[in-house]
């Protein structure tokens, strides 16, 4: 019985051994398969990652390509547009070089109605200006309202003298001799009204008028400065205005101007091309800058520090405006 049991146990053991061997083999095989599968999975995951990155890169590249294409398209359109503008500008410049602006202006001013309209506007503008700039002279000469009205009328006529000749001078077909004749015509008309003013005022008052008239440009300049700062701490007192006008007039008369543009009645000979030549304008700019800088030292004795700073800025602005106007005129009357 015992042997049978032992035999059965042996058979069972062998069977278990065989089963173990078989199971172990299967387990090893399965383990190997698992390892292989895991390796394959790892490889697939790596491949998937690569493909995913490739796909993302492709998408990004595609997006970049689209953006680049759009940018190129827009840039091309902009380049084409700029090319058109450049061509138009070149055409405009070419046309500007061949067309003298004085020609079209002269054609416009040949119209009598246009001339009358401009002279009417000039007269309307000059009325208040004369009242403002010559009011001190009215008081100085104790003029009655009737005398003031007569004197003002003569001043207007003198200022408007030669307006027709001035319109004609814009004609670019005129030569130097013809322009000189027009300038003589303007001077003749101006002298005629000056004689009428002298007869009206008398010799003594006429001398006072001549002295006063030399200060008018400076009165206008100081008046413009004061108007600009009216109602502010930089506004000038009446005494400051008078002192500045007197100081500026004295400084201007004592300054050695060489360009001719700051002389009385510049261009009286009709040679506007020489007067407004680029080198003459440049010389005037240099002299005007020097004069303004020198006068600031004089103005410092009259103005407060804040007023002096504001006046310095005003000088620069006025000088730049004057230079711009001279250069425009130089282009119109240039040789």
pLDDT tens readout for residues 10-69: 333 333 343 344 444 554 555 555 556 566 655 555 655 665 565 555 566 565 556 555
What number is the average pLDDT over the span 258-270? 65
Higher pLDDT, 326 or 5: 326
What lies within 8 Å, CB to CB, of 174 at 6+ separation is 168, 182
What number is the average pLDDT over the span 146-170? 81
For residue range 87-129, list pLDDT tens digits in order. 665 555 455 545 555 555 556 666 778 777 877 787 788 888 8
- Regarding pTM above 0.85, the answer is no
């Amino acid at each position: 019985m015992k042997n049978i049991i032992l035999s059965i146990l042996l058979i069972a053991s062998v069977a278990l051994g065989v089963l173990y061997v078989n199971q172990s083999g299967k387990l090893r095989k399965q383990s190997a398969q698992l390892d292989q599968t895991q390796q394959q999975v790892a490889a697939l995951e790596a491949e998937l990652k690569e493909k995913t990155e490739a796909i993302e890169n492709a998408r990004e590249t595609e997006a970049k390509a689209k953006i680049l294409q759009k940018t190129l398209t827009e840039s091309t359109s902009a380049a084409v547009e700029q090319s058109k503008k450049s061509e138009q500008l070149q055409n405009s410049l070419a046309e500007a070089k061949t067309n003298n602006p004085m020609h079209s202006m002269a054609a416009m001013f040949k119209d009598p109605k246009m001339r009358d309209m401009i002279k009417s506007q000039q007269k309307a503008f000059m009325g208040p200006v004369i009242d403002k700039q010559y009011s001190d002279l009215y008081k100085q000469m104790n003029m009655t309202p009737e005398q003031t009205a007569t004197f003002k009328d003569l001043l207007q006529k003198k200022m408007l003298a030669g307006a027709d000749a001035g319109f004609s001078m814009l004609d670019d077909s005129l030569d130097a001799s013809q322009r000189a004749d027009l300038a003589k015509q303007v001077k003749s008309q101006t002298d005629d009204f000056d004689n009428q003013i002298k007869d009206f005022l008398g010799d003594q008052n006429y001398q006072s008028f001549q002295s006063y008239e030399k200060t008018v440009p400076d009165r206008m300049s100081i008046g413009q400065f004061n108007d600009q700062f009216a109602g502010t701490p930089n506004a000038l007192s009446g005494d400051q205005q008078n002192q500045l006008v007197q100081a500026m007039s004295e400084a201007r008369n004592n300054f050695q101007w060489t360009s001719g543009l700051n002389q009385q009645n510049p261009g009286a000979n009709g040679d506007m091309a020489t007067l407004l030549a680029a080198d003459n304008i440049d010389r005037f700019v240099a002299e005007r800058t020097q004069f303004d800088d020198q006068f600031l030292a004089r103005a410092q004795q009259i103005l407060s520090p804040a007023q002096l700073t504001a006046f310095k800025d005003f000088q620069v602005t006025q000088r730049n405006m004057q230079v711009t106007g001279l250069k425009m005129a130089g282009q119109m009357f240039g040789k």
